[in-house]
Amino acid sequence: MGILDEIGFTPEQYKTLSKHMSDEEIAQEELLVSGRTLSAWKQRNGIKSDRTPSGRKFTREEWEEKRREGLKEQQIAAFFGYKTFKLYIDYKKSIGIPNLSKERRIERTPEFLDEIQNYLKDGLTVKEIAEKLNVDITPAYLGRIIKEEGLRDDAKIVRSVINKIRNQQEKGLKKYGVPVSVDLYSLRGWLQHALEETLDKAVYLEAAIQKIDEIEGGKRK
């Protein structure tokens, strides 16, 4: 049994996704696994790969016209009849149209990440979310953000830890004026610092235990 079987991915779900996504897109953007993992899963479930037709060829002038009309990349791909975004990107490259680089500068604000996660909770695919967001972003790059930020429901704990680390780093930067660096302390200095933090933690734990005892003692009375 593979990881896709363990998470309950079904042939019906695959058929639904494959209507508008390639296997590469399904693996990397929707399931966050390798293409080899998806291929092995398909073999176990007796699913054959279908040849995906490409869309209509277009000129650079036609593409620029659609951009001037305000269409995002995904919408342009759909307009010209491309079943998968990868086929559209490959053809666009073949006629000398470079990929848009704006997405690399997208600021990952808490509001932006919350919007993505809300769409995920509503059951939308990565491609559908990319079309709804008010930024020009490809499904592949959006999938990367989802993975790196731990936005899926099964990664809430990881995301929470990451956010706490970031918040702690920001607090430290405001307090000391410099980011954490290996050169801030000697090896002994780091160990001493860790010891002091550990002792503080012990005090906090003891205070919490005594608080619990007070609460439970009050209930018994």
The pLDDT value recorded for residue 52 is 46
What pLDDT, in 10s, does the model give residues 5-14?
777 788 888 8
DSSP, collapsed to helix, strand or coil, labels residue 221 as coil
Does some domain include residue 64?
no
For residues 15 and 28, membership in a common domain is answered with: yes
Mean pLDDT of the region 199-216: 91
The pLDDT value recorded for residue 102 is 46
Q: How many domains is the chain built from?
A: 3
Does some domain include residue 209?
yes
Q: DSSP for 167-179?
A: HHHHHHHHHHSS-
Block residue for tokens 């399931």: 31
For residues 152 and 217, membership in a common domain is answered with: no
Q: How far apart are alpha carbons 37 and 133 in whole angstroms?
A: 29
* pLDDT > 70 in the chain, percent: 85
Does some domain include residue 69?
no
Count of C-beta atoms within a 10 Å radius of residue 108? 11
Q: For residue 41, name the pLDDT band (cuts at 50, 70, 90).
A: confident
pTM over 0.75: no
Residues 138, 132: contact at Cβ < 8 Å?
no
For residues 148 and 219, membership in a common domain is answered with: no
For residues 169 and 200, membership in a common domain is answered with: no
Q: How far apart are alpha carbons 85 and 132 in whole angstroms?
A: 16
Question: Angle at which helices 139-149 and 110-121 pack, to 10 degrees?
Answer: 100
Residues 139, 126: contact at Cβ < 8 Å?
yes
For residues 162 and 210, membership in a common domain is answered with: no
What pLDDT, in 10s, does the model give residues 169-180?
778 777 777 677
Q: For residue 200, name the pLDDT band (cuts at 50, 70, 90).
A: very high
Residues 156, 113: contact at Cβ < 8 Å?
no
Average pLDDT score, the chain: 79
Does some domain include residue 189?
yes
3-state helix, strand, coil in the chain (%, to 5): 65, 0, 35
For residues 129 and 167, membership in a common domain is answered with: yes
What pLDDT, in 10s, does the model give residues 86-145?
788 888 888 888 776 544 567 888 889 889 988 888 778 888 888 888 887 878 788 888
The pLDDT value recorded for residue 195 is 92
Domain span at 36: 3-44
The pLDDT value recorded for residue 54 is 62
